[in-house]
Each structure stands twice: as structure tokens, then as C-alpha cells.
Amino acid sequence: MKITKPGLVFNMSDETYHGDPVPGGSLSSSLARRLTEHVPAKAIATHRDRRPTASMNLGKAAHLHALGAGPDLIVWQHDGRTKAGKEERAEHAEAIAAERVIAVKEDERDQVIGMAKALRANPEVAAMLDAGTPEVSVFWQEQGAWCRGRFDLLGDVGDDYKTCDDASATGFERSMSKYGYHQQADFYLRGLRAIGHPAGDRPMRFICQEKTYPYLVQVHTCDELAMEIAAALNDRAIAIFAEAIASGEWAGYPTLHVEPTALPANYFYRYAELIPAHLNPFVESA
């Protein structure tokens, strides 16, 4: 499948989406977030070397049981340290790397089944799950570049399902800061707005579920300030991506950092008494 015009695509496999079906390449939310943290050369290298972690596998397996869509799930039948286990893993290595299947241990399978049951036991969350279409991809153009996003659920509202250690408001604050969920929300919503979908004008919801029993769930949205910051970050990331695609060059670090480098701010708290008064940021000048 090749994408040559903006719009929504249903029933696209994970393998096709993550393989990037846009000729010439498109910007995903994950790469946009890397471009806000790293120079382009490092951002694209880490993005292309993306390898599923144990935590990512568990999250994908939970997606499959919660939403009923996604790659096939297999359960390892042998210990990976044994000869049979090594042969089993070698047999599925290509499919796992291509994200056609998700492989988990038996106890992890039981865990995600328990999580799915807990989701469905919550009537408000169950209504959200039933109201949207799972795994909907959106493609659009912005600043001369192609962009893409993938909703876990899309209906009148766009939803993303996250597995986490702490689903509380405090936990989500930390996750927004660490993983850039606010930037993901802005990126996906601007895609919907670009194609004229009404859900683009509504806050994106994050259905967050804890990975440990009793698998508590809370639904979050990002506040106005978080979304304003995210919009600015995405504007910059799209501009960087568009320039790199047009030039074919992914810039690294400049050879010389022109500005002298300062110590981090928290360092001064530790040694405030050693700083000369005229240079001490914690001492008011006369």
C-alpha cells in the first residue's frame, strides 16, 4: 500500500504503518518528538533503529486484548535459554521485528487478559472503547512535508490507550513530561483538522491503565498550556523534517559550540556559598 493523498485509512497493518507507506517518507509523532530532543542526525538514527522493548510488547499485547485490533499474539512455549526456546525465538524473529506478531510469556498473557477485563468492567471506559473504530491512520501534508498518525480509537473523539505504572493525574503529568504525550495529542489532532475531521476540534483522550492489579484506569486530556507548547514543538519538528527531506541532509552537531557552556541550574544550589556575590543568581544585587 502506498499513500499519495491525505485522508483516513482503516485496517492498515502495523507492519505497513510503521514501515511508512508514503513514498519519500513521512513524519510520525514519535519522530517529531525525537526531533525536539535531539539534532536531526541523532533523531533519525534512533528512530530507524527502533526496537520493541519488553514494556512495549506488553503494551501492544494489552492493546490487542483491550481493542481487539493489532498484530497477532503468540505465547512463548519454551524458556528462551533452552535449545527449544532459542529455536522458537529464531523462528519468529523476522515476524516480531516486522511487528506482524507480538510475543509474550504465559504470565504476561494472563496479565493483559486481566487488564482487558478490568477495562471492560468500567462502564464509562467500555462505552469509549465501543464508540470508536480501532487502529485508524491519518495522513496529511504540512509545511510541504507528509505527516502521519495512528489513533488507537477514532470516533467523535480521538483516543489513545496507554499502559503505565501510575494512572493518576500526578502520574500522567510525569508521563507527559517524559514521553511527550501532549505533543502526540497536538500532532494527531492537527492531522484530523487538516483533513476536516470534526474530532480534530475536540481534546484527545488518553485512556491510561496501570499494569499491576487491580489494573486501575483513569482518562486524561492535556491542558491548554501543554497544548500550546506542544503546537510550537511540532511546528519546529515539521519544519526540521521538511528541510531534511528536501535537502537529503540530517544535520548533526556543529563542530564548535559557539556559546560558552554553563553549569546546570541545580548545581548552583549545591555550591551557592562558593559563588562570588556578583555572579550568584541567588543573591540580590544592591
Domains and CATH numbers, the chain: 7-247 (3.90.320.10)
d(CA 183, CA 93): 32
pLDDT tens digits, residue range 157-213? 999 999 999 999 999 999 999 999 999 999 999 999 999 999 999 999 999 999 999
Longest dimension (CA), the chain: 76
**Across residues 239-245, what is the average pLDDT?**
96
Q: Is 182 exposed, middle or buried (0-12, 13-18, 19+ CB in 10 A)?
A: buried
pLDDT tens digits, residue range 246-267? 999 999 998 888 888 888 877 8
**What's the whole-model pTM score?**
0.82
**Following CA atoms 76, 79, 81, 84 in sequence, which dihedral angle do they give, to the nearest 10 degrees?**
-80
pLDDT tens digits, residue range 59-104? 677 777 677 665 677 777 877 888 888 877 788 788 777 667 777 7
